[in-house]
């Protein structure tokens, strides 16, 4: 399979935010209008992670045409999916099988799981039996090689490698490795941990957190060899960043999914 470059969009109460260390959150945009830009860039896929701690969705603009229509994350997914023409994954606040069903029925292709996998150890097998491994992704948030959950406030005391092995054995379809310490820091990916997990996994591993420039994408693929590299802030704040990211990868002979000529750069 060709490598993927994935924009990861963090949401809080319905708005796109810039995140740093999972603690500093700066509002930077609207998730429905933003997805049109990613379509123009011909991105490989999009991951939305909702970090809201409550169910209050508010675009904070009375004139916005979606304000009265979007009151829950399921409403948001439905609106996003109407204008999203690439694979869409969505995660955040999932606690029941019905949550997964609603997310998929609202238009997402995959569902990203995290805290519920610690709360209910039977949940993953039940979900796989109903929806299949291909529809389920685990996001592994970690600090100093230990996996955290509940908005990175609870240390599970389980190592990253052990947790990833457990998830693979349980049947998860894909894993996103998310370094909390590198979130928003733009200081490069955690190559050592990513490589360790990739070398011991047979399922796709997605590297997230740390991208500061396009060379970070190249370095991560060359040194750790994940199935995909994901990033957030670099795609929000740099002009034509996805195009230039793909260009850097092609120039470094990384076997990425889409040809550069397919990208719209006007």
In the chain, what percentage of residues exceed pLDDT 70? 86
Choosing from 141, 183, 190, 216, the catalytic residue is 141
Does domain 4-262 fall under CATH 3.20.20.70? My reply is yes
* pTM greater than 0.85: yes
| 141 classed as catalytic | yes
In this prediction, residue 35 carries a pLDDT of 82
- Would you list the domain boundaries of the chain? 4-262
DSSP-derived secondary structure for the chain = --BEEEEEEEEETTEEEEEETTTEEEEEE-HHHHHHHHHHTT-S-EEEEE--SSS----S-TT-TTTTT--SHHHHHHHHHHH--S-EEEESS--SHHHHHHHHHTT-SEEEE-THHHH-TTHHHHHHHHH-GGGEEEEEEEETTEEEETTTTEEEEEEHHHHHHHHHHHT-SEEEEEEGGGTTT-S---HHHHHHHHHT-SS-EEEES---SHHHHHHHHHHH--SEEEESHHHHHSTTHHHHHHHHHHHTT--BSS-GGGS---
The pLDDT of 227-254, averaged and rounded, is: 91
pLDDT, tens digit, for every residue of 133-192? 999 999 999 999 999 999 999 999 999 999 999 999 999 999 999 999 998 889 999 999
């Amino acid at each position: 399979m060709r490598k993927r470059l994935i924009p990861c969009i963090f949401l809080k109460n319905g708005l796109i935010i810039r995140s740093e260390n999972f603690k500093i959150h700066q509002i930077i945009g609207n998730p429905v209008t933003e997805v049109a830009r990613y379509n123009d860039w011909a991105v490989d896929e999009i991951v939305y992670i909702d970090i809201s701690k409550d169910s209050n969705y508010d675009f904070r603009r009375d004139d916005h045409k979606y304000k009265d229509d979007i009151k829950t994350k399921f409403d948001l997914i439905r609106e996003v999916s109407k204008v999203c023409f690439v694979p869409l994954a969505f995660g955040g606040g999932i606690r029941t099988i019905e949550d997964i069903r609603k997310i998929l029925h609202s238009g997402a292709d995959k569902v990203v799981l995290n805290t519920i996998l610690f709360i209910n150890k039977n949940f993953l097998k039940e979900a796989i039996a109903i929806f299949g491994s291909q529809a389920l992704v685990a996001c592994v948030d970690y600090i100093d090689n230990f996996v955290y959950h509940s908005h990175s406030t609870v240390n599970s005391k389980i190592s990253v490698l052990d947790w990833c092995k457990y998830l693979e054995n349980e049947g998860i379809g894909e894993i996103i490795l998310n370094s909390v310490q590198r979130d928003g820091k733009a200081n490069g990916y955690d190559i050592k941990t990513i490589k360790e997990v990739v070398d011991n996994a047979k399922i796709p591993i997605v590297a997230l957190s740390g991208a500061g420039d396009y060379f970070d994408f190249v370095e991560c693929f060359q040194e750790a060899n994940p199935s995909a590299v994901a990033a957030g802030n670099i795609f929000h704040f740099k002009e034509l960043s996805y195009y230039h990211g793909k260009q850097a990868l092609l120039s470094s002979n990384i076997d990425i999914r889409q040809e550069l000529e397919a990208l719209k750069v006007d």
